[in-house]
Amino acid sequence: MLNYNLNEASEVRKLQLSELDGIRADVYESARSYKERAKLFHDRYILKKESTPGIKVLFYHSRLYRFPEKLRSRWIGLYILLHVFPYGAVEIQDPDTSVKFKVNGQRLKNFGVAKS
């Protein structure tokens, strides 16, 4: 017949649980540091665009991507940039019709300085 000592078993189990908590903390720290390094690596290759109100921009027409024509440009219009919002949103205006709308700033390409 086996003789179990409950006090010894409980002490061993508590020690195992504390070691597990230490290992878990190390894993969380390792994952956090990995994510920070991956973000730094990724952010290094993002091109920062400086957009100032008043410049002329071209707009990327994404519908032409679905129906490609080799010689047709996917950049349309000549719009005037009115306002740059936080997080990349941009308000542009069509100079012909004076229609204003908001778009993602990554869909724009600088064309030149607008004449006032």
Banded model confidence at residue 57, pLDDT cuts 50, 70, 90:
very high
Q: What is the mean pLDDT of residues 56-77?
A: 76
Please state which architecture CATH assigns to domain 55-113. Answer: Roll (2.30)
According to the model, what pLDDT value does residue 112 have? Answer: 62
Q: Which residues sit opposite 57 in a β-bridge?
A: 79, 110
According to the model, what pLDDT value does residue 102 have? Answer: 93
What's the number of CA atoms in the CB half-sphere (13 Å) around residue 75? Answer: 11
Chain segment 68-105, per-residue pLDDT in tens:
666 677 888 899 999 998 888 899 999 899 899 999 88
3-state secondary structure of 72: coil
DSSP code of 62?
T
**Three-class HEC string of the chain:** CCCCCHHHHHHHHHHHHHHHHHHHHHHHHHHHHHHHHHHHHHHHCCCCCCCCCCEEEEEECCHHHHCCCCCCCCEEEEEEEEEECHHHEEEEECCCCCCEEEEEHHHEEEEEECCC
